[in-house]
Structure 1
Amino acid sequence: MTRQIRTLPALAAGPAEMPYTILSWSETFVHDTTWNEHSHPWHELLWNERGASTAVVGARVWTITPTLGLWMPAGTLHSGSATAGTWCRAGFLAFGAVTPISPTPVGVEITPLLRLLLERLTDTELPSGSRAVTEAMVLDVLTPSSHELLLQVPTSALLRPIADAVRDDPGDQRTLADWASRLGVSARTISRAFNAETGTSFARWVAAVRAQHAVGLLTRGWDVDAVAEEVGYRSASAFGAAFRRTTGLTPGAFRAR
């Protein structure tokens, strides 16, 4: 399948000519699409109407879905990708006209109310008074989420082989002890390295990889049982419990939303 690469400039945060305080953007991608590392003068709220995409800031990888969006502050260097068929949406928020919800990228739950308000702002004929009220309501309900599909990718020579293997095959069943034996170090050494580089344990890191991969499969319509097997769980119930701990939703509820 053809992959399209888009090149955008790296621009510093600052005022930019915009017709509205929150400008809507929407695109459905025919091809797998990749963006280079770039930045915008405005803040971004990213989410999808359909499908899954990713945003990368340094060694951090977020998965963006119809229910889990991402706040990207103005001037933040980031790259990204979207698979063919994904319907990406965004709100560009004028720098200086809004108070940032976070100085760093952070997950945002796309609630039914927030979605309704953002949808209203796509109407270019919306009266200025109504637009101002709607924009104010968006800013009022826009808050960081306690759930986000975030993966901190380790980059050290010790952990990179593990990270590459698990990300290539989330169903990889090798344990901490298995990796320690293969790499010729103690399991404790690997455990300490994971906590130092990712801020979490090996088991939780693997669960995050599996959740990110599962999201892509669920948004493409895969059956929950098939997804569970693909990402390495012995049963749909075990997968469901792990997925809910990571995303706050069961796989069935996530796919339905």
Structure 2
Amino acid sequence: MTRETRTVAAQDPGAVRAPFVIHGYDEVVALDTSWNAHAHPWDELLWNERGTSMAVVGARAWTITPALGLWMPAGTMHSGSAVAGTWFRAAFFGRAGTPSLSDVPVAVEITPLLRLLLERLGDTSLAAGSRTATESMVLDVLAPSTRELLVHIPTSPLLRPIADAVRENPGDRRTLSQWAAELGVSARTVTRAFNAETGTSFARWVAGVRAQHAVGLLTRGWEVDAVADEVGYRSASAFGAAFRRTTGLTPGAFRAR
């Protein structure tokens, strides 16, 4: 399938005066699409109406879904990607009139109330007073979430082969000891490297990659049993337990409806 690559400029905060408080945008991508590293002059809230996408800041990769969005502060360099058929949405927040939710990227739970308020702002016939009231409510309910689909990507020569293999095939069941043997180092060396580069263990890192991949399949309507097998678990119950430990949510929270 043909892939589309889009180029967006990098703009500093305040480089462009915002003639709005909150401005929405949405699009359904027909092809697998990627965006170069860029930055917006305004804060941005990203989420999806349908499907999954990914935003990458440095070595950190967030998966964005209909349930979990991402707050991207103005001026933050980030790249992105979305699979064909994804209906992505964005809300830009003019910094002059709105306080920033966070100076660093943070996950945001897209609650039914927040979704309804953001959808209301898309009504072009909305009266000025109603728009102001709705924007105030959006700012009031916006809050960082402790739940996030975030993976720190190792970049060292030692861990890069593992990272590339597992991200390419999350169903890879090679253990830490097996990887260490293949790389000609001790398991302790790999363990230390993972903790230093990602802040977590090999097992938890793999679970995070698997959870990100699983969410993409779940939002496309895959059955939980099939997803569990695809991402390397021997049963749906084992997958469900690992998924809940990683995300704080059940697989059903991401199933396509």
Common fold: TM-score over 0.5: yes
User: In the alignment, which residue of structure 2 is the partner of 1:49?
Assistant: 49
CA contact (8 A) 2:220 2:256 kept: no
Task: Tell me, in whole angstroms, the C-alpha distance in 2 between the residues paired with 1:104 and 1:65.
Answer: 19
CA contact (8 A) 1:34 1:82 kept: yes
CA contact (8 A) 2:18 2:96 kept: no
User: In the alignment, which residue of structure 1 is the partner of 2:38?
Assistant: 38
CA contact (8 A) 2:220 2:255 kept: no
User: In the alignment, which residue of structure 1 is the partner of 2:65?
Assistant: 65
Which range is displaced more, 135-144 or 60-69? 135-144
CA offset digits 1:57-109 (Å, max 9, x no partner): 11111100000000000001111011110000010000232111111111111
User: In the alignment, which residue of structure 1 is the partner of 2:135?
Assistant: 135
Task: Tell me, in whole angstroms, the C-alpha distance in 2 between the residues paired with 1:245 and 1:126.
Answer: 42
Task: Tell me, in whole angstroms, the C-alpha distance in 2 between the residues paired with 1:15 and 1:115.
Answer: 29
Task: Tell me, in whole angstroms, the C-alpha distance in 2 between the residues paired with 1:252 and 1:57.
Answer: 28
Point out where structure 1 has 5 or more consecutive residues left out of the alignment: none
Asked if 1:188 is matched to 2:183, the reply is no
Three-state SS of the structure 2 residue aligned to 1:125 is: coil
Q: Which amino acid in the other structure matches residue 168 of structure 1? A: E
Deviation at 1:16, TM superposition (A): 3.0
Three-state SS of the structure 1 residue aligned to 2:255 is: helix
Task: Tell me, in whole angstroms, the C-alpha distance in 1 between the residues paired with 2:219 and 2:143.
Answer: 24
Three-state SS of the structure 2 residue aligned to 1:24 is: strand
Point out where structure 2 has 5 or more consecutive residues left out of the alignment: none
TM-score relative to the length of structure 2:
0.97
Three-state SS of the structure 2 residue aligned to 1:138 is: helix
User: In the alignment, which residue of structure 2 is the partner of 1:90?
Assistant: 90
Asked if 1:122 is matched to 2:119, the reply is no
Aligned length: 257
User: In the alignment, which residue of structure 2 is the partner of 1:99?
Assistant: 99
User: In the alignment, which residue of structure 1 is the partner of 2:11?
Assistant: 11
Deviation at 1:246, TM superposition (A): 1.9
Task: Tell me, in whole angstroms, the C-alpha distance in 1 between the residues paired with 2:37 and 2:60.
Answer: 13
Deviation at 1:254, TM superposition (A): 2.3
CA offset digits 1:226-251 (Å, max 9, x no partner): 00000000100110111112222211
Deviation at 1:19, TM superposition (A): 4.0
Q: Which amino acid in the other structure matches residue 96 of structure 1? A: A
Identity across the alignment (%) = 72
User: In the alignment, which residue of structure 2 is the partner of 1:248?
Assistant: 248
Asked if 1:2 is matched to 2:2, the reply is yes
CA contact (8 A) 2:18 2:95 kept: no
Change in Cα spacing, 1:256 to 1:219, as seen in structure 2 (3 Å) is: closer
CA offset digits 1:19-75 (Å, max 9, x no partner): 420001010111111111111100000000000001111111110000000000000
Deviation at 1:18, TM superposition (A): 3.7
CA offset digits 1:142-170 (Å, max 9, x no partner): 11111110110000011001111111110
Q: Which amino acid in the other structure matches residue 27 of structure 1? A: E
Task: Tell me, in whole angstroms, the C-alpha distance in 2 between the residues paired with 1:96 and 1:199.
Answer: 36
Runs (4 or more) in structure 1 with deviation over 4 Å come to none
Which range is displaced more, 216-225 or 18-27? 18-27
CA contact (8 A) 1:53 1:86 kept: yes
TM-score relative to the length of structure 1:
0.97
User: In the alignment, which residue of structure 2 is the partner of 1:171?
Assistant: 171
Three-state SS of the structure 2 residue aligned to 1:148 is: coil
Q: Which amino acid in the other structure matches residue 239 of structure 2? A: F
Three-state SS of the structure 1 residue aligned to 2:81 is: strand
Task: Tell me, in whole angstroms, the C-alpha distance in 2 between the residues paired with 1:247 and 1:129.
Answer: 39
CA offset digits 1:173-230 (Å, max 9, x no partner): 1111111111111111111110110011111100000000001111111111000000
Q: Which amino acid in the other structure matches residue 113 of structure 2? A: L
User: In the alignment, which residue of structure 1 is the partner of 2:79?
Assistant: 79
Q: Which amino acid in the other structure matches residue 153 of structure 1? A: I
